[in-house]
Every structure is written in structure tokens, then in C-alpha cells.
Structure 1
Amino acid sequence: MASAEIARANATDWVAKAAPLPTQWTNQAGPGNALPDYPRPQLTRRAWQNLNGVWEYHGSETGAARILVPYPPESALSGIGRHDDVMTYRRTFTVPPDWRDEHVLLHFGAVDQTATVWVNGREVATHRGGFTEFSADITSALKPGGEQEIVVRAEDHDEAAPFAVGKQRAKPGGIFYTGSSGIWQTVWLEPVPAVHLDKLDIVGDLTGFTVTPRVSGGDGQVEVVVHDAQGTEVTRASGQAGQPLRLTVARPHLWTPDDPYLYAISARLTGQDAGKTDEVRSYGGLRTVSLVADTLGRPRIALNGRITFLHGPLDQGFWPDGLHTAPTDEALRSDLDKIKELGFNFVRKHVKVEPARWYHWADRLGLLVFQDMPSPRFGPDGSPPRDGKADFEAELTAMIGQLANAPSIIGWVPFNEGWGEYDTVRIARAVKAADPTRLVDANSGVNCCYSHPDSGAGDLYDDHTYVGPGRSAVRDARAVIDGEYGGLGLVVAGHSWPGEPQAYEMTTSPAQLTERYVEVSRELETLARDEGLSGAIYTQITDVENEVNGFLTYDRRVEKLDFAVAARHNRAVIAAGSQ
């Protein structure tokens, strides 16, 4: 079955709530179009079944209802429109006849905060943490034929629970926003042989790929083949599952923001499963990121060995109709398209983990990414919960493993402004050990807020100054970036979230906002050219709830300043800071 199957359960009983700010995609999401796109672009198989759609739902406060999965219950698109601490989801499905001799895997993109899953009354999976994926082999729980039942019990106690929450709050306001509970990413099935490829660890550099095939259910031989963008084979290698395979690429075509060239990678496993084979498809980009010295001996960020200034916006990934979940895949991509239109080469994904398709679009469109770990909850002094450290570190490790194949990601950010910060040196070293190929920004905004005194950890010194830009000097072997600056605001009537709008500096018109953006950009250009600054992140790509400091309104309907003028100055900053 090569296309999505929409849930059949009483779709007519589901009704969306009215979104406070509908986007142009709000009305496109429904029982027949609940994120039907293939959810895992870097490990694809021919057959799959989408379980998004209308499910039965029972909430601890809501009672019995119908919900549109995978939109969180708090969102308008879910049809629920409120928070429940405890949520129970139920639906049925049938297994396609041609899957009869296969194992069946059940996948969840994300469920916030904890989940227990039953199939036909048998518990098949539990998971802790609201931002990472999990799967279960449900073959032994399936009945010989007919309808099969899935039940999911989720609990989400907002910041009262010991889990990473990012910007979610039970009482949103200011820089914190409405939370997203329960199932908020795609639920889907796929058939596999008993011995099958579970993951490909893909590391690209300037001469080729190192691919490590991970196999579940047994062992076997794996052959990996790399094709160029025109479909011509460029290299292949084979070996034992679990062992790294080196695939050298003659005349390598490197991945850059201006030329995001991707190679197709396929793998074929011959396992110990009665001669059955498993085949998957993926992709990769050839690029490196490192620190190098400029002509004055200052540490700078280099892409593929060339000093490259990182310039882009903060991207928080919230939606007025779907909250943590974009209404459609086109909507998910749209913010990245706008970032490219604005002349940027970079984006910081702020204290949230996106669905795999977001990183796929960043890879395809050519945007460098710093990926934040969602912040743990923290007390009035910024201290983390004692009972949440193990969960935080487990989910941080899982996030790195889950996203490590994306060529767009060039840096990890474990802490932001000291929110829940602890053991900074140890955590930074652990992140570097988990992925030595990328930069580590140990605490973005080390000069700000609840941050501990600068530990010197990681590869970067990261300043937050509003409106800024910050003027931090190079102080050691770390490169210096402005991890947040800007925050220039404008209220657009009819396109603002209910409540009191706020920004770090408010303007009164698109013309004034454009003028102030130009003034700040000219100062940033000087810092990039003369002071050794390596990157700068503007707050932010869109308004988010009561924050009105976006290039776009929260509903994505209005460009709040002159994009052509902003893009010209953004490109000038990148040019000034790059060698």
C-alpha cells in the first residue's frame, strides 16, 4: 500500500474549533488531509500506512470526543481546543493482505509527555519525553484478520512534570506560549522483514560518506549505493551490518546554502530471514563545519573549510491553528521558504524539535541549522528539577541520534539563557562525544538571564543582546556569535493574537520597522567585517502569540517590513563576515 490511509472512525463527528488566527492552510487540514505526507524522508520504504485522521478521544477534563490526529488537543485543528492532563486515544485499522508475511512496525513521531500504547489489549510500547520519536514491532499483538485496535494513553502535566517543555506553559504569556499535549506528530505503520534495516547512520565530509547500517532482528550483509542528483551511480560498498562502510565520491559536489546538493543513498540488506531482503532509500550531503583562524588569528566558523558568516532568524515553530503542529506540509515548508527569500543562510530552531520533514526541507532548500534541545522546566532562579535531569539527558541523546543525518544541522544547543542549566561542561562534552562532527553551543545567551558564569565549554561564546546587536569580543579559542538580537515589533491590526502585544522595541509602521531593521543591520555588518563576529540570529521569523517581533505575522499572512530591502542587507552582512 503505497499511499496514506485516512482513519475511518466516524469522521463526521469531528468538527474543528475556530482558530483565533486562521492561516491560509487552516481549512486544508481535515479528516481527508491530516498530514498525509511520508513522515521519514531519510529512511523510506515503498509500503506504509498513515494512521492520522479522526480517532476516538477521552480527556480527563474533556470527556468523550473525536480528535483529529496529529494535532494536539489544545489546538483548534484537533477539534478539542483545551488541555487534558490525561488523554486516551483509540482507533482501529486493518492490515493490508500483502503484509501477511511481514513484521509490522508502529511509529509515533512524538507524543507529549509520556505514552503507553496497546494493540488489541496488549501493551506494546511506553515512552517518556515529548519531543522524540518511538516505535514498536506489533506483529505478535495482531489478530489473524479483520479490524485491529490501537489505544494510546498519554499524560502531560505541563511544567509540573519532570520533562523538557521548551516554551510551553500551562498559563501562557509573554515569551511563553500555549502547550501541546498528546499525539502531535504523525502515527504510521510499515511492513518489514523479520531482519530489517532499522537506521542508516550517514556522515558526509569533503570526499564521501561513511554509512553505518543498523539492523534489527538479526544480522546480515548490507550493500550501500550512492547516486548523484541525475541518477548516475557514483560509488558503492558492502559489508556486515553494524560496521561502517566508506564510500569515496570522485569529484565530490559539496552541499552549501547556495547549492544544497544532495546525493541519493540506498541500502539493501540480505538478512537471516529465509532469504528475504530489505531495501531502504535515503540521502546525504557532503559538507563539514569547523572552527578556523582568520587572517588576524581569530576563531571563526567555517563551512567546508571556508569562513562563512551564519545569519538567520530564530524559528520557534508555533502555529495559531495547530500550535506545535503545522496544519500542512506546505505550511511547514513555508517559513523556510521565507527565510531563504529574506537572504538568510541560517536558522536557529529554538527549544523545539520539529517533525523529520522540517529538516528535510532545510536540507533541500539550503539552510544551515542550529538545533536547540527543548529547555527543562526551571525554578524562579533558573534551577532545574532534580527529578528531571535523567529524562533531560536521555531525550537530548535521543534527539541527537534522531536528527544526526541532516546535513543542514551544523550545531547543537543544549541550554538557552541558563533555563534549567546544570553541569554545563559535562553536558557540552557529552554532546560533543555523541557527535564530534558538529559545533556545540553550550549555553546560548551565556551573558543573559539565568545563565551560570561562563564555563568556557563548547565551541562558541554566545551573546544575547536586545535590541543589539551584541558587541562581544573574541576572548579565547571559541568563535563568537550573537545568538539572539533584534526583537523589533509591529502590531498589525486583525493579525494579532488575543492579549497584550510585546516586543523589545515597538515600531508604528512597516516603513519605520524597515528603517530600524536597516540601521541595526548596518551596525551588524560592521561587527561582522571588523570585529570577528561569526554569526547572528535575529528574533524572529514570525510573531508568536503575544510576541509581535516577527518578519511575518503569526498567521503568516502579512510581511511586516520590506522583504527586498531586508534581504539586501542580510546578504551584505553575510558577505562582510565571510571569507
Structure 2
Amino acid sequence: MFRPARRPGRWATAAAALAVVLSGLSSAPATAAASPQWQRLTPPLTTPWTNQVSPTNALPDYPRPQQTRDKWQNLNGVWEFAKAQPGEAPPIGRSLGERILVPYPVESALSGIMRHETQMWYRRTFQVPNNWQVGGRGQRLLLHFQAVDWDATVYVNGREVTHHTGGYDAFSVDVTDALTTAKNQEIVVGVADPNDAGGQPLGKQRQPGDGIFYTPSSGIWQTVWLEPVTPAHIDRVDTTPDVANGSVSVTAQVGGPVRQRVEAIAYDHGRVVGRATGEANKPLQLKVDKPHLWTPDDPFLYDLRVSLSSGDSVGSYFGLRSISVGKTADGKQHMLLNGKFVMQLGPLDQGFWPDGIYTAPTDAALKFDLQQEKALGFNMVRKHIKVEPDRWYYYADKLGLMVWQDMPAMKDDVEATPAAQVNFESEMHRMIDQHRSFPSIVTWVPFNEGWGDYQVGRIADEVKSWDPTRLVDAESGVNCCRSEPDSGRGNIYDDHTYTGPGTPTPDATRAAVDGEYGGLGLKVDGHQFDPAGSFAYEMEPDSATLTKRYGELQQRLLLAAQQCGVSAGVYTQTTDVEKEVNGFLTYDRQVKKMDFAAVRAANQAVIKGATGAPVKGPVASQGTPGIDGIAAYPFDENTGTTAADTVGGHNATLVGGAGWTAGHSGSALAVNGSGQYADTGAPLVKTDGSYSVAAWVKFTALGDGFQTVVSQDGGDHSAFFLQYSGADHKLAFSFVGVRALAPMTPEAGRWYHLVGVRDAATGQLALYVDGKQAVSRNVCLGEASTGHTVIGRGQFGGNPVDYLNGAVDQVHVYDRALTEQEVATLYSSGV
């Protein structure tokens, strides 16, 4: 890993009385009339705030709302910049050839560089105001970095003052002893960022960005500032609400050998409502008069003043709220806010910008996305594998949005090394510690869809031990992608289904959520990052259709909440992001892609409707009795292009050259895996109720592809698939997003008897192989479909897919759930 070499030499330390004068936030002194200048470059898309950014107003707001002090100096602005070479000595006292606007990532247009670098130098000077009285027995000077991606070495006046790894957590250093008596003090920062060539947490950054991964952000990407403090000072204020006792626990984290007394005072609009005193580094229980709880509808915050006997004092705030999982009246586990079930509904929020990439161009822009989410009627937001500046969480606190905070993932397709795992856990622990006092954060999400996951159960337990007051979502999308098998740990079972939403059900200890669904897309000319590469999970032709489809998804989510006990839904996503065009807003935040009033109404209907009385599921129908079912295809013709339905009136047509072969009994349908199947010409079963399908099947060849034996077409995808899952190398009975997988791996050239049973009354999806139940999955809702029942293929994305390569015989379709005994009887009969 690149780390700048230390420059040798002696540097004077701070004198007892420094007499230096503040002269603003200028960068290094000009050395010539033609010295380089910062220039705003042209981003792929321009946001409403792009042209507001300049060297004089680069994120000038105080960056730490939960620990404020009156005196501080912002070091954002123009810095000198240069590409670095491995092992290169730091450029102490040497002007660099380019100019960069901090804190915008080097790859961004707003930085003025707009290229990727893996190793780089930053340099500037600053002046310490003489009224800060820094040095000697006076104040100490802290240098703060909110975030640098990824490996940073900091020098002040040639002395290495700190080295930090971690792209998403803040770090600080006392630089007092590195100051000189000179007017200008020099800072040099060396940064190395291997991006996706390294094993560190990096979220969705990739070089180059593509698909669901995006342009990387290297270097300094959050605010840099100076702050004078007393020698004994508060490093962090931790607040933990206790709703049951109407109090808050306040811990002033203070370093140093001298014990300090702490006073904490709570205010309600300037009126003192609580006070507590005690020792530093120990929790103080501060009771408040007439506790006012924080909720999304009423995001009330108390002001807080915390002071030390040393004279140090900081301003802060807190909210009183609890978050838990517990049983509601229907006997199911739900997520509870302040002891009550509140349906949590929000968007997936990636936090990317076309002009600043990881860094919002202005504070108003940072707040804008949250304001839009609130206007859309959401009460929650999932911050997706990125950590935002503290001001983002402050606005979530103020606006009333619950936050699920993801840990930025390691690379998705590489197994984490032991060293990478140690680093991941260390950075995640720091991230949690630094954000534990924001009342809006209600859930920690350590892993997503298997990206860099390992020992998921242990990590979930570890996160819970670090912060027992919040929920832990052990793996978001545990049903998806590269996820490890469900560990059963944490407080939440999290389903990802596109377009979905999925219909998971709570278990004995965990709530069930739709951690991702949706992804409905619309291309808006003139507002696409990459028009040729734009994509979505389901593309719509216009805003009206997009809004209508969104409403349909929300109606299904409400049904999942009412019938299945789903506690939350996360829709993909707030804005378009690079090639993804599935946002409520375009990537440049210039165009609203849906009717926001209609979206708000749909969202509010879900939140309010989910908290009402549970809705009973479908009443079990007796269905048609008998072992033959409502349709049966023996495939005994052995000639022609029609297969008779010997029970009903829906003869099947052979399509694409499908033919005949020797069957398990008589002849059978033969298909070659390429466009051949049999179409029954009708939807044989109501797929939102109970049904069963049975077939004998023999595979000519098996591999990594899917092969569907029987399915029924829907509008976009099959309502069910009786199939071979090439992703798992297992036989399966599947819904989109859910597969009931048999434990054994099938063999080519052998006949198997498969029966898929959907019992709507119990919510079970069961697969029987050769007369015995192989697996059962709890899937609450089925999907209504009016497409044809077909034999030998499936449907996905509106297209025929997953063609069978083999033979099918004795297909039976039932309008009810078969019993275990009936399945065994059917298998024994051979038909």
C-alpha cells in the first residue's frame, strides 16, 4: 500500500505565545503571476447547484451539528494538488502544479481535476488567529478531516502528525506541537486510494463505473477544519434515549490524565427541562420534564449543552425515541417505533451526484434529496452502502426520516482476506460510534446481497453488542445474489425482489422487510448520464405509466404488510444514478419523473393502511377433487403438433419444432432448449390462490442455466416456475425472488417426478421430488396472472426464457394444494 515517505529534518515547535493573524482561507501563497488557478470543469450533467460552487463557498457550514463550538476555521477551498509517485517524499515547502477545490473528490468536475488518481498530494497553508491563544499552557489546535478516501498521511510544517485508513469515518489530530512561529502554517496530505484494486470498504465505487456501480471518489471528500480547544476537552458526546424512563444517557468522551466533571443541560426552545452532573467518560442519566417523543410525524429535538470543569463546552441535541422488534395483535413480529408498529417506507438513497460524485455540491443540495423524500410521503430512507456527512443525518433528524445505515461494502466478487475482515470490522465500529447519537438512525446494515460478506451471524451479533439500542439487519437481500445462507441472526429478515415487492413473512424472533424492490425506469432526454447505456429493472414509456405502475407496486406492498406482516419497504430509488434511470428524479435533480402528489398519496396509503387491522388472506378453496386435476397432458400422441388435455378442454400446441420422444409412460414431449415448448392456450390456474403442478421430466444436459418444466406467464414474468435452477444446480419450485430448492443435485438422463404445491392458506411453497417433500418455503402472497400455462419454458422481463432441454411427460395441473399423501399416490401411479 502506498504511503508517502517521511521527510527528514528539524522543525521548530510552537512558541508559548503565537502572534499570527487570520487572513482567510487562501491557499498557498502565489509564487508567480501565472500560478495555476482552480477552474470548474463541465460535469456529465449539471445540477441546480453546480454553478453556485466557488472557492469562497465550498461547503462553508459547520460540519458537526452534534458537537458545535463557536470558534473554528474552515479549510475547504482551493488547495495545491499533484499526482504522487510511490515512495515519493512529501512536497514540504514546495508548490504543486495543479489546483483542486476541497472537499470535492479528485474525479469530480467540481474538484477542477476530474480524473482518477490512486496516489496524490494536497498542500495549503493556514494562519492561526492570535485570539485563539494556541500553544504553551493555552489552547490546543485540532485539525479535523470528516472523510478522506482511503489512506491519508498528514504533515504539518513537515512533521507527520497522523496516518489514517478508512474512507468513511472522521479523524482528528492535535497539531499544536507541529506549529511554528511563522505566519503561515503548512499542511500537506498524501492520499492513496486503490479503489476496486484493494480490499477496503468502497461501496459502489468502481474504476470505471458501470451498471449498478459508479464513478469512484478518491481523496478528500468531506470538510476539513481547525478548532481550538482546552487541553482537557470533549472528543465526542454520546446520547442514548431511554423512552421508558423519560430520560437520555449522556456520555462526554474526554481524553487526558486529569479527571473532569461534566454538566449536561437539556433545553426545550431555550427552557431548561433537565440537568445532570457527573464524571467524564461515564453515562449521566438526564431526566426531562414531560418527555416529548421523536417520530417522523413530529420530529421533536431537544437542545443540549455539555460542559467540562476545564471550561470546554459544546452544543448538541438529542431526540427521545425507541426502536425494537416485538409481537403485535396479529401475533407476528414487527418493527416498533416507541413501542408501536409504524410501517417504515422509504427509498434506496445512493448519495451520488453528477457534479460532485460522492460530495453534494452545496449544503442546500445535500438537504434537497431528503426534502424530496419527505415530500413524497416517505418516513424512512435507506442510506445505501455509503456514509454521508454529519449534516445529512442532522437534516434527517430535523425532517423526520428514519434511517437504515448501511456499512459500505467491500468488493462484491472477491472473498475478503483475514486482513480485510479486520479492517472492515474496525471501520464499521468507528462508523457506528461516530453516528450512534443521531435519533434518525434506527437500523444498522452490515452486509448487502453477499458483497464481501463473511461470518454474517457473528458480525450481526458483534454489531448488536456495539449498539444494543438499534436494530440489526444482518444481510439485506439475504435471499439474493451472493448472500451467505440466512444466518437467522439480527432483528430483520430482508428480502430483495425486483420488480416485486417480495412477500416475506416474520419468523419467531425477526421482523420481515422488503429491503429492495421496484426499480421502475423512465428515460428523460437531455437528462441521462449515458443515454446509450441507460437501464432499469422495468422500463416505462412515459411519466403517467411510471406513476401508475408505482401505485400498483405500492398496493401489493400494502397487501404484503396486511396479510404477510411485512414491516417495511425500500423502493429503488431516490434519483437516477449514472446509467440507472429508475429514480423519482433524474440524476441531475432537474426533472420529477413521476406525479409526486400521486406518489405521496400511494405512500401514505401504505403507511396508514399497514397499521390498521390485519387483512385475512385468501380463504382456502376445496378445488376440484380427484388425482387427475383440472388439466392433464399424458403426451401419448407421439405425432403431430397437438397434445390432448385428457381432463379439461385446453389442448396444448407444440411450438418452435417441439417433438416427441420415449416417455416415462408411453411417449413424451421433446424440447431442445432453444425456442421449443408447448402452449396450453389458457391460464389454467388462478395463481393468487392455491394450486399444484406435477410432471415427469428428464434433462438432456444440466449446467449453469435455468430450465423450466411448467410455468404460467404473467405481465412481466411467470407467476411460478417448476424448474431446474442453474444458479444453484438444484431442482426448484420458484416465484421471482424466491426459490424452494431441493437439497440434492439432479443428474442428466434420469426421470424425476416433480410436484410444486402452492398453499395460499398457509403461505407455503413446497417442492416434492419422487413422491417426497424435498423443501418448503414460507411465501405469503402469490401473483395474479392471466397469461398462458406453458410447458418447457418460463418468462422474465416480458420475454420467453429458461427453455427446457429434455423431455416432459404426464403433466397434471390442479386448482388446489395437493396433500403429501396425494403426491405420494400420484408418484406411485406413474402417471
- TM superposition score category, shorter chain reference: over 0.9
Using the alignment, how far apart are the partners of 1:577 and 1:143 within structure 2?
64
Q: Which residue among 180, 191, 212 is the counterpart of 2:251?
A: 212
SS in 2 for 1:399: helix
SS in 1 for 2:172: strand
Instruction: Tell me which residue corresponds to 1:274.
Output: none
Kindly provide the amino acid, as one letter, of the partner of residue 140 in structure 1: D
Kindly provide the amino acid, as one letter, of the partner of residue 295 in structure 2: T
1:105 deviates by: 0.1
Q: Which residue among 450, 458, 467 is the counterpart of 1:426?
A: 458
Using the alignment, how far apart are the partners of 1:531 and 1:34 within structure 2?
48
Whether 1:369 aligns to 2:408 is: no
Using the alignment, how far apart are the partners of 2:303 and 2:215 within structure 1?
39
1:12 deviates by: 7.1
SS in 1 for 2:603: helix
- Tell whether the 8 Å contact from 2:544 to 2:594 is kept in structure 1 after alignment: yes
Instruction: Tell me which residue corresponds to 1:564.
Output: 597
Whether 1:443 aligns to 2:475 is: yes
Instruction: Tell me which residue corresponds to 2:783.
Output: none
Instruction: Tell me which residue corresponds to 2:82.
Output: 58
Residues 291-306 of structure 1: pairs in structure 2 closer than 5 A? 291-306=325-340
1:528 deviates by: 1.4
Kindly provide the amino acid, as one letter, of the partner of residue 543 in structure 2: P
Using the alignment, how far apart are the partners of 2:23 and 2:425 within structure 1?
35
1:222 deviates by: 0.8
SS in 1 for 2:599: helix
Gaps of 5+ in 2: 1-19, 86-95, 613-831
Q: Deviations over 1:45-83 (max 9, x none)?
A: 01000000000000149x831000000000000000001
Whether 1:534 aligns to 2:571 is: no
Instruction: Tell me which residue corresponds to 2:431.
Output: 399
Instruction: Tell me which residue corresponds to 2:185.
Output: 148
Q: Which residue among 31, 35, 45 is the counterpart of 1:21?
A: 45
Whether 1:336 aligns to 2:370 is: yes
Greater Cα radius of gyration, structure 1 or 2: 2
Runs of 4+ in 1 over 6 A off after TM superposition: none
Instruction: Tell me which residue corresponds to 1:265.
Output: 304
Whether 1:139 aligns to 2:139 is: no
Using the alignment, how far apart are the partners of 1:45 and 1:55 within structure 2?
25
Instruction: Tell me which residue corresponds to 2:750.
Output: none
Q: Deviations over 1:315-365 (max 9, x none)?
A: 000000000000000000000000000000000000000000000000010
Kindly provide the amino acid, as one letter, of the partner of residue 314 in structure 1: L
Using the alignment, how far apart are the partners of 2:248 and 2:423 within structure 1?
32
Return closer, same or farther for 1:4/1:481 CA change in 2, 3 Å cut-off. Answer: farther
- Tell whether the 8 Å contact from 1:7 to 1:52 is kept in structure 2 after alignment: no
Using the alignment, how far apart are the partners of 1:470 and 1:567 within structure 2?
21
| Aligned-CA RMSD value | 1.5
Q: Which residue among 354, 368, 384 is the counterpart of 1:350?
A: 384
- Tell whether the 8 Å contact from 2:36 to 2:99 is kept in structure 1 after alignment: no
Return closer, same or farther for 1:12/1:57 CA change in 2, 3 Å cut-off. Answer: closer
- Tell whether the 8 Å contact from 1:174 to 1:547 is kept in structure 2 after alignment: yes
1:524 deviates by: 1.0
- Tell whether the 8 Å contact from 1:253 to 1:286 is kept in structure 2 after alignment: yes
Residues 71-220 of structure 1: pairs in structure 2 closer than 5 A? 71-100=104-133, 101-206=138-243, 207-217=246-256, 218-220=258-260
Gaps of 5+ in 1: 272-276
Kindly provide the amino acid, as one letter, of the partner of residue 229 in structure 2: V
Superposition TM-score, scaled by structure 2 size? 0.67
Using the alignment, how far apart are the partners of 1:150 and 1:493 within structure 2?
45
SS in 2 for 1:224: strand
Residues 391-540 of structure 1: pairs in structure 2 closer than 5 A? 391-498=423-530, 499-540=532-573
Return closer, same or farther for 1:285/1:5 CA change in 2, 3 Å cut-off. Answer: farther
- Tell whether the 8 Å contact from 1:314 to 1:347 is kept in structure 2 after alignment: yes
Kindly provide the amino acid, as one letter, of the partner of residue 263 in structure 2: E
Using the alignment, how far apart are the partners of 1:202 and 1:60 within structure 2?
42
1:4 deviates by: 11
- Tell whether the 8 Å contact from 1:468 to 1:485 is kept in structure 2 after alignment: yes
Instruction: Tell me which residue corresponds to 2:357.
Output: 323
Using the alignment, how far apart are the partners of 1:458 and 1:295 within structure 2?
22
Instruction: Tell me which residue corresponds to 1:310.
Output: 344
SS in 2 for 1:416: coil
1:159 deviates by: 1.2
Using the alignment, how far apart are the partners of 1:436 and 1:136 within structure 2?
30
1:5 deviates by: 4.3
- Tell whether the 8 Å contact from 2:60 to 2:76 is kept in structure 1 after alignment: yes
- Tell whether the 8 Å contact from 2:147 to 2:167 is kept in structure 1 after alignment: yes
Q: Which residue among 243, 260, 271 is the counterpart of 1:232?
A: 271
Q: Deviations over 1:19-46 (max 9, x none)?
A: 1101000011110110000000000001
1:294 deviates by: 1.3
Using the alignment, how far apart are the partners of 2:107 and 2:204 within structure 1?
15
Using the alignment, how far apart are the partners of 2:36 and 2:69 within structure 1?
32
- Bigger mean CA deviation after superposition, 21-30 or 524-533: 524-533
Q: What is the total number of aligned residue pairs between the two structures?
A: 569
- Tell whether the 8 Å contact from 2:142 to 2:229 is kept in structure 1 after alignment: yes
1:204 deviates by: 1.2
1:249 deviates by: 1.2
Instruction: Tell me which residue corresponds to 1:6.
Output: 25
Using the alignment, how far apart are the partners of 1:349 and 1:287 within structure 2?
20
- Bigger mean CA deviation after superposition, 430-439 or 236-245: 236-245
1:197 deviates by: 1.1
Whether 1:252 aligns to 2:291 is: yes
- Tell whether the 8 Å contact from 2:412 to 2:450 is kept in structure 1 after alignment: no
Whether 1:49 aligns to 2:86 is: no
1:378 deviates by: 3.5
- Tell whether the 8 Å contact from 1:469 to 1:524 is kept in structure 2 after alignment: yes
Kindly provide the amino acid, as one letter, of the partner of residue 566 in structure 2: L
Superposition TM-score, scaled by structure 1 size? 0.96
- Tell whether the 8 Å contact from 1:541 to 1:552 is kept in structure 2 after alignment: yes
Kindly provide the amino acid, as one letter, of the partner of residue 564 in structure 1: A
Kindly provide the amino acid, as one letter, of the partner of residue 570 in structure 1: N
SS in 1 for 2:585: coil
Q: Which residue among 46, 59, 64 is the counterpart of 1:40?
A: 64
- Tell whether the 8 Å contact from 1:171 to 1:178 is kept in structure 2 after alignment: yes
Using the alignment, how far apart are the partners of 1:428 and 1:448 within structure 2?
18
- Tell whether the 8 Å contact from 1:108 to 1:185 is kept in structure 2 after alignment: yes
- Tell whether the 8 Å contact from 1:6 to 1:31 is kept in structure 2 after alignment: no
Sequence identity percentage: 54
1:145 deviates by: 4.0
SS in 1 for 2:228: strand
